């Protein structure tokens, strides 16, 4: 899929002049200041930037966890700039799959129950949830650990379960925030390979990271600095190590 | 998240923090158990009291007993003829609206004998035939004695069911048989129906079954030899008339006794008023206990929920990121605190009932199982759960998902 064919369709996500300002009394912190960005279906993208660059704020907006203070945002061609917290929650439940640096599995629940968690919050009817959860676990290679507790798993295994949870409701966008930040390099690599695999199967994956080496695995890198997108690079297939 | 899921989740949380949950549960448990127990005591006390009043003639029964005259009348108290059968006749002939009058005499521990069997009757009562109506005694077999028996001092007796059981074989018909009463032969003409009112394992009406009745003249002439009744019993025409009738009887008797106040007219309406007053006092006391326990368990639960939320900020963040609405988080925590309090409540009700059944053997304090108490206890625990869960749940639901996910 190249840039030209993508232009013919609506992007999955489009930001136009998005700003996020925090009023700190005397001063106004401009975490994001006029960001234009398009994410197409089937892309494998990294948002890259040092801490304080605004990449986390950008991720929160892209993941519908937060509301922009200015600009317009479109999801699937629909203007979602002014939607309320419950509508954002509905989009998070059905359209976004989150993967976190610290995995964020609920320790009390079994692996299977953790994967099932998103179905409790979806407002659309949920069928055959257990089968689907097992399929999701199968996709990340964790089907045999369904009954385990997160505490019985290694870091890499936990992240795989978290990815299965993100896949549970067949999201339009998988949003991973430093997914390899807490893993050793070998494990990190296998997780990144898993994302690559999911992308190859048609999934749209967006990784937020400060690590160039992680970003190099993706096909498109968006560099964020001081609340703006400063540079965009597209990796060649053969450039991926 | 549906309600079943939320309740299951609540149980999961309780199970994860066993000790902490147990301690909180004990708060609710003790509150509810004490409530059930106190309610059981109050109900038992008043239920017993009410039925004993009812079964002994109800509110309409007025008793007239000999009393010590006041100090000022002591010197000339000799001019009073004292309580006598004549008084009863005078009451009968007065213009008072009454349903029945009888002079009454009784003997305790009267020995009945029949062949080799014997029985000490708790209360041998002599009276006019009206006594059956006044004391609300119903015949199970045979007949009561009538005016003719009274006039002829007939040697006839009506036995309480317990007395008959002690003197006769199973299946044997006592009516028409002869028993010896203090060595005097009496013919059994009737047997009272058995009376039962269980207060735990104790039959409140046992005394009624261990009574025997004979005509007053028979008791006086054949057994005691006395001519003075111990009292007079009157049945007022209606419940509303009791106070007025009692006052009228008092003035009539003072007149008959030449101004000497040597009798006491005892009506049960005073007792009933006292009864109502005391019941109210007990209920207020019970409610105060309930309110304090409610407060204590509420504080316990709220404390636990606040601690739980503090520990689970991240979980709340994750749930919100996965699409939970604030309302879902709110419901989750309210249901969790309710699950905890209802568990405590149910165990508390069980414990309360357990204690009540343990106390059944005790003769002086006998609480009863009260469905009301169980319902109140259950309602109480749900209320505590909801109220104590509200504030922590609101706090949890308002957490910002971004902040919550960052929280360590």
Mean pLDDT along residues B225-238: 89
Q: Which of B12, B323, B328 sits opposite A92 (nearest CB)?
A: B323
Q: Cα(B64)–Cα(B257) distance, rounded to whole angstroms?
A: 13
Residue identified by tokens 């929650």 is A89
Q: Cα(B224)–Cα(B104) distance, rounded to whole angstroms?
A: 13
Q: What is the DSSP string of B225-279?
A: -----SEEEEEESSGGGHHHHHHHHHHHHHHHTTT---EEEEEHHHHHHHHHHHH
The domain limits of chain B are: 3-53+274-406, 68-97+238-261, 103-236
Q: What is the fold of A3-239?
A: Rossmann fold (3.40.50)
Give the per-residue pLDDT at A238: 45
Give the per-residue pLDDT at A240: 46
What is the helix (H) or strand (E) element at residue A63, kind and residue range?
A: none
A85–B325: do the CB atoms touch at under 8 Å?
yes
Quick one: closest CA in B to A103, which residue? B318
Contact list, A97 vs chain B (CB under 8 Å): none
Q: Give the number of other CB atoms < 10 A from CB of residue B385.
A: 28
Contact list, B316 vs chain A (CB under 8 Å): none
**Mutation choice for B interface testing from A32, A106, A176 by most B CBs within 10 A:** A106
A92–B319: do the CB atoms touch at under 8 Å?
no
Q: Which of A125-129, A144-148, A204-208, B204-208 has the lowest mean pLDDT?
A: B204-208
Give the per-residue pLDDT at A239: 46
Mean pLDDT along residues B112-137: 90
A121–B325: do the CB atoms touch at under 8 Å?
yes
Residue identified by tokens 């695995």 is A217
Per DSSP bridges, beta strands A27-39 and A205-209 are unpaired
Give the per-residue pLDDT at B200: 61
Give the per-residue pLDDT at B231: 92
Q: Is B19 exposed, middle or buried (0-12, 13-18, 19+ CB in 10 A)?
A: exposed
Q: Which of A11-15, A174-178, B197-201 has the lowest mean pLDDT?
A: B197-201
Residue A138 has pLDDT above 50, yes or no: yes
Could you tell me the two tokens for A155? 């870091």
Could you tell me the two tokens for B8? 């299951």
Contact (Cβ atoms closer than 8 angstroms) between residue A41 and residue A198? no
Residue B80 has pLDDT above 70, yes or no: yes
A65–B13: do the CB atoms touch at under 8 Å?
no
How close, in Å, is residue B302 to chain A by CA atoms?
A: 21
Residue identified by tokens 């046992």 is B206
Q: Cα(B339)–Cα(B24) distance, rounded to whole angstroms?
A: 12
A121–B16: do the CB atoms touch at under 8 Å?
no
Per DSSP bridges, beta strands B117-127 and B98-114 are antiparallel
Q: What is the DSSP string of B77-118?
A: GGGS--S-HHHHHHHHHSS--EEEEEEEEEEEEEEEEETTEE
Q: Which of A66, A89, A109 sits opposite B323 (nearest CB)?
A: A89
Q: Cα(B32)–Cα(B26) distance, rounded to whole angstroms?
A: 10
Q: Cα(B322)–Cα(A121) distance, rounded to whole angstroms?
A: 7
For chain A, say whether B17 makes contact (Cβ under 8 Å). Answer: no
Q: Give the number of other CB atoms < 10 A from CB of residue B287.
A: 14
ipTM of the complex: 0.92
For A47-70, the pLDDT digits (tens) are 999 988 989 999 999 999 999 999
Higher pLDDT residue, A201 or B364? Answer: A201
Mean pLDDT along residues B380-405: 91
The domain limits of chain A are: 3-239
Query: In Å, how far are A209, A225, B282, B406 from B275, measured between CA atoms?
Result: 79, 84, 10, 64
Give the per-residue pLDDT at B58: 75
Contact (Cβ atoms closer than 8 angstroms) between residue A20 and residue A57? yes
Contact (Cβ atoms closer than 8 angstroms) between residue B107 and residue B133? no
B323–A122: do the CB atoms touch at under 8 Å?
yes
pLDDT cut 70: percent of chain B above it: 97
Residue B180 has pLDDT above 70, yes or no: yes
Q: Is B151 exposed, middle or buried (0-12, 13-18, 19+ CB in 10 A)?
A: exposed
Contact list, B322 vs chain A (CB under 8 Å): 92-93, 98, 117-118, 121, 165
Give the per-residue pLDDT at B199: 64
pLDDT cut 70: percent of chain A above it: 94
For B6-61, the pLDDT digits (tens) are 888 888 888 888 888 888 888 888 888 888 888 888 888 777 777 777 776 677 88
What is the helix (H) or strand (E) element at residue A175, kind and residue range?
A: strand A173-177
For A100-123, the pLDDT digits (tens) are 999 999 999 999 999 999 998 988
């Amino acid at each position: 899929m190249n840039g030209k064919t993508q232009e013919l369709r609506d992007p999955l996500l489009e930001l136009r002049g998005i700003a996020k300002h925090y009023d700190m009394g005397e001063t106004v912190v401009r975490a994001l200041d006029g960001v234009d960005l398009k994410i197409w279906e089937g892309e494998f993208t990294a948002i890259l930037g040092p801490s304080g660059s605004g990449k986390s704020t950008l991720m929160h907006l892209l993941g519908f966890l937060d509301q922009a203070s200015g600009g317009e945002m479109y999801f699937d061609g629909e203007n979602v700039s002014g939607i309320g917290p419950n509508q954002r929650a509905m989009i998070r439940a059905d359209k976004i799959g989150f993967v976190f640096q610290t995995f964020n599995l609920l320790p009390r629940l079994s692996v299977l129950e953790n994967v099932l968690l998103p179905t409790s919050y979806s407002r659309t009817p949920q069928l055959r949830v257990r089968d689907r959860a097992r399929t999701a676990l199968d996709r990340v290679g964790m089907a045999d650990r369904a009954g385990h507790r997160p505490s019985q798993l290694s870091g890499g295994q936990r992240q795989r379960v978290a990815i299965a949870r993100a896949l549970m409701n067949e999201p339009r966008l998988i949003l991973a925030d430093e997914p390899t930040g807490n893993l050793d390099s070998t494990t990190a690599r296998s997780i990144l390979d898993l994302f690559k695999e999911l992308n190859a199967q048609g999934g749209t994956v967006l990784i937020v990271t400060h690590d160039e080496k992680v970003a190099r695995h993706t096909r498109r890198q968006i560099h964020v600095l001081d609340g703006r997108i400063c540079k965009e690079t597209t990796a060649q297939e053969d450039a991926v190590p | 998240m549906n309600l079943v899921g939320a309740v299951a989740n609540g149980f999961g949380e309780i199970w994860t923090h066993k000790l902490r949950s147990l301690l909180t549960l004990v708060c609710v448990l003790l509150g509810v158990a004490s409530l059930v127990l106190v309610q059981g005591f109050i109900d038992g006390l008043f239920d017993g009291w009410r039925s004993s009043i009812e079964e002994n003639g109800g509110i309409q029964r007025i008793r007239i007993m000999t009393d010590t005259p006041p100090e000022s009348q002591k010197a000339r108290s000799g001019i009073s003829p004292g309580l006598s059968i004549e008084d009863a006749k005078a009451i009968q002939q007065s213009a008072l609206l009454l349903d029945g009058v009888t002079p009454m005499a009784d003997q305790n521990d009267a020995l009945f004998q029949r062949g080799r069997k014997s029985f000490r009757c708790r209360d041998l009562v002599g009276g006019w035939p009206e006594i059956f109506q006044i004391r609300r005694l119903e015949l199970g077999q045979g007949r009561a004695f009538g005016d003719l028996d009274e006039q002829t001092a007939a040697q006839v007796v009506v036995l309480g069911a317990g007395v008959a059981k002690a003197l006769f074989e199973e299946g044997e018909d006592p009516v028409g048989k002869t028993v010896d009463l203090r060595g005097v032969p009496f013919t059994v003409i009737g047997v009272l129906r058995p009376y039962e009112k269980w207060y735990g394992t104790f039959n409140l009406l046992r005394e009624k079954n261990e009574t025997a009745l004979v005509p007053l003249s028979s008791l006086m002439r054949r057994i005691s030899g006395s001519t003075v009744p111990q009292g007079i019993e009157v049945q007022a025409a209606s419940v509303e008339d009791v106070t007025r009738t009692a006052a009228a009887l008092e003035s009539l008797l003072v007149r008959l006794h030449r101004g000497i106040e040597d009798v006491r007219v005892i009506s049960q309406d005073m007792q009933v008023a006292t009864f109502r007053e005391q019941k109210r006092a007990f209920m207020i006391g019970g409610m105060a206990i309930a309110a304090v326990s409610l407060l204590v368990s509420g504080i316990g639960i709220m404390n636990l929920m606040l601690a739980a939320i503090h520990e689970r900020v991240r979980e709340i963040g994750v749930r919100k990121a996965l699409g939970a609405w604030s309302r879902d988080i709110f419901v989750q925590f309210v249901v969790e605190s309710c699950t905890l309090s209802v568990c405590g409540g149910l165990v508390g009700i069980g414990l309360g009932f357990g204690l009540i059944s343990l106390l059944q053997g005790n003769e002086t304090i006998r609480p009863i199982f009260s469905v009301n108490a169980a319902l109140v206890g259950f309602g109480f625990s749900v209320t505590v759960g909801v109220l104590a869960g509200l504030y922590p749940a609101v706090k949890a639901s308002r957490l910002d998902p971004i902040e919550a996910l960052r929280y360590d």
